[in-house]
Amino acid sequence: MYKILEARELAANIYLMEVEAQRIAKRCQPGQFIIVRTDEEGERIPLTICDYDREKGTVTIVFQIVGAGTKKMAKLQAGDYFHDFVGPLGCASELVNEPEEELKKKSILFVAGGVGTAPVYPQVKWLKGKGVAADVIVGAKTKDLLILEKEMEAVAGNLYVTTDDGSYGRSGMVTQTVKDLVEEGKHYDVCIAIGPMIMMKFVCKLTKELGIPTVVSLNPIMVDGTGMCGACRVTVDGEVKFACVDGPEFDGHKVDFDQAMKRQQMYKTAEGRAALKEEEGDTHHGGCGNCG
Ligand code: NAD
Ligand code: FES
């Protein structure tokens, strides 16, 4: 059982929880994720790690209510427990494995969309710890949905906030600010984009035109998180990959976003899962237990 030390609402339907998880806190790296279950019968919910404190032995997660499982999670308070808190899962961000001297030479741009701001935060914080100040664009639909602004400001080189409706910061979607910054003369060696699939698709379309290599963190539907069930299948550079073990980070210019978005929709219904089973043939693992 994993004790919740802090639970608070960051914005409408978006929650932050700090959880006691000594072993994960000791080993996790930016970019990795965990899977939680509220109880024995609970849905398995994958969440990218937002922060960790190795000394305190805690891991911070941020999630949005999107269904019954996350609704149940949001009711938990400080002092309550998660039944399961499994991780760290997936590969760490590629940045973690780069020699420090190389990192220091790079001009890095992070693009965070909505709840995707949470997984961006530990990467920017980790870089600051290495003396690298990255530029960060954080986009939200409206001012009230903006999260972790102060935290990000404390670790970013420059922070650019955008709102789709212009209620705060720059007006428009994150892609507009990427374009503006480049037009203003900024040069970036790499872009890391994390947020809704549609945002990552359009950031990648733009950075391809601008010639900026781009990494994305994919969050397709996950079930086991160990590469066995096949739920998180994506196509990257024409090859089948499983986001939970091969990712979650991939070269954004090689990801088939249209297929990933279509699959995400199809996986939600029995009819869709049956169609996927048919389409994917022998390479459809079917281990999710839902597609017969
Ligand atoms: P949102 O819909 O509010 O979008 C956030 C920002 O993304 C917008 O403000 C905009 O700037 C940008 N954006 C959206 N559509 C765009 C487009 N077509 N072109 C360019 N930019 C665009 O985000 P939200 O409601 O917080 O997102 C929730 C989604 O994010 C869920 O589907 C969730 O699964 C996903 N998510 C992904 C990750 C990840 O690791 N990739 C992490 C957390 C959440
Ligand atoms: Fe990735 Fe099951 S969640 S294979």
The answer to whether residue 195 is domain-embedded is yes
Instruction: Collect the ranges in the chain with pLDDT lower than 50.
Output: 292
> Nearest residue CA, atom 2 of ligand 2?
229
Q: Tokens 């994919």 label which residue?
A: 218
User: From the CA atom positions of the chain, what is the Rg in Å?
Assistant: 19
Is omega for the bond preceding 88 within 30 degrees of 0, making it cis?
A: yes
pLDDT score, position 287: 52
Please identify, by atom number, the ligand 2 atom nearest to the C-alpha of residue 285: 4
Is the shortest distance between the CB of 89 and ligand 2 below 6 Å? Answer: no
Residue nearest to atom 17 of ligand 1 (CA): 199
Q: In 10 A of CB 130, how many CB atoms?
A: 12
Task: Give yes or no: residues 112 and 189 share one domain.
Answer: yes
Decide which of 35, 51, 85 is a domain's last residue. 85
H helices within 45-185, ranges in order? 68-74, 100-105, 117-129, 149-155, 174-183
Segments forming the whole domain that contains residue 282: 218-287
Q: Which residue, of 189, 217, 245, is where some domain finishes?
A: 217
> What is the Å distance from ligand 2's center to 291 Cα?
14
What confidence score (pLDDT) does residue 292 get? 47
User: For 53-96, what is each residue's pLDDT tens digit?
Assistant: 999 999 999 999 988 889 999 999 999 999 999 999 999 999 99
For ligand 1, whether the C-beta of 219 sits within 6 Å is yes
- What is the C-alpha separation between 173 and 87, in angstroms, rounded? 33
Question: Which of 53, 85, 117 is the last residue before a domain boundary?
Answer: 85
Closest protein CA for atom 42 of ligand 1 = 116
> Which atom of ligand 1 lies nearest, measured to the CA of 48?
40
**Ligand 1 and 113: CB distance under 6 A:** yes
Whether residue 94 is contained in a domain is answered as no
Residue 232 Cα to ligand 2 midpoint, Å, equals 5
Residue 173: alpha-carbon gap to chain centroid: 18
CA of residue 43 to ligand 2 center, whole Å: 14
| pLDDT for the residue numbered 41 | 85
Give, using CA atoms, the residue closest to atom 4 of ligand 2. Answer: 227
Q: Residue 90: inside a domain, yes or no?
A: no
Q: Is 23 a member of any domain?
A: yes
Tell me, yes or no, whether 47 and 151 share the same domain.
no
What is the CA(185)–ligand 2 centre distance, in A? Answer: 41
* Ligand 1 atom 14 nearest Cα: 199
Would the CB of 122 count as within 6 Å of ligand 1? no
Tell me the two tokens of residue 207. 């950075």
Structural domain count, the chain: 3
Q: Please tell me whether residues 212 and 270 are part of one structural domain.
A: no
Decide whether any atom of ligand 2 lies within 6 Å of the 224 Cβ: yes
108 and 14 inside one domain = no
From the CB of 234, is ligand 2 less than 6 Å away?
Answer: no
Contact between residue 161 and residue 168 where contact means Cβ atoms under 8 Å apart: yes
**In sequence order, what E strands does the chain have?**
2-11, 14-20, 33-37, 45-48, 51-53, 58-64, 81-82, 84-89, 108-113, 135-140, 158-163, 170-171, 190-194, 214-217, 233-236, 239-242, 249-251
Q: In angstroms, what is the span from residue 266 Cα to ligand 1's centroid?
A: 19
